[in-house]
Amino acid sequence: MIIDYEVTADDLLAFNEYYLTHSAVYRRQWIRGLVISVLVLSLLPILVLVRRDKPFMEAAVDIWPLLLGPIIMVPIYFAISKRGLRRNLRRFIVTKEVAGALGPHSLMLQEDGLSSRDPTGEQRVKWSAVQSVTLTEDRLMIFLNNATGFVIPRRAFADRQQLEAFVAEVRQKAGITL
């Protein structure tokens, strides 16, 4: 089975964003950044309360806006990190190194693996390299074991049946069970 499709910057962005946000390494870094941010914002109110010359509750009431900082930081950090990730991925996608990933592609399912063709050349991948197959609302993503893969827009398939047959064949040949 052969699928011909066009990869856009949005397709590539979605592929990389999905991979990173589902990566254990990225999640650990994200949580570490959140914890550090909350701890840093907690430091000032703690120092004020420790060095107070008023009763504890009176001092806490006086600095209540400082006490809100660590609490407010959680949704702010979430929004800023997600926007920063997208911004950095968009910057990366327009570089020369990624230019070949955009444009027309072909992906052929063969007995021994996947064969792909894009503007930079051809590639063959054994079925054992396929780590996972993910179907999102707009794209089919085939992840390989080296943090790369194929992103195929749903628009490349004539209908839902063709997409489902393609996904089933990839999963069967790669030995991936649901």
Domain boundaries, the chain: 2-8+103-174, 14-96
**In the predicted structure, residue 166 carries a pLDDT above the cut 80:** yes
Q: What is the mean pLDDT of residues 145-153?
A: 85
- Look at strands 2-7 and 103-109 and give their pairing: antiparallel
47 class by beta-carbon count within 10 Å (0-12 exposed, 13-18 middle, 19+ buried): exposed
Query: Model-level pTM?
Result: 0.72
Q: Tell me, what's the pLDDT at 143?
A: 93
Question: Are the CB atoms for 122 and 134 separated by under 8 Å?
Answer: no
Domain 2-8+103-174 has CATH 1.10.287.610: no
What's the rounded mean pLDDT across residues 25-41? 89
Please give the DSSP secondary-structure letter assigned to residue 154: G
Please provide the average confidence, as pLDDT, over all residues in the chain: 87
Give the span between the Cα atoms of 27 and 7, in whole angstroms: 27
pLDDT in the model for residue 173: 93
Q: Which residues contact 155 (CB under 8 A, 6 or more apart)?
A: 5
At 51-109, the pLDDT tens digits run: 878 888 888 888 888 888 888 888 888 888 888 888 887 787 777 667 678 889 999 99
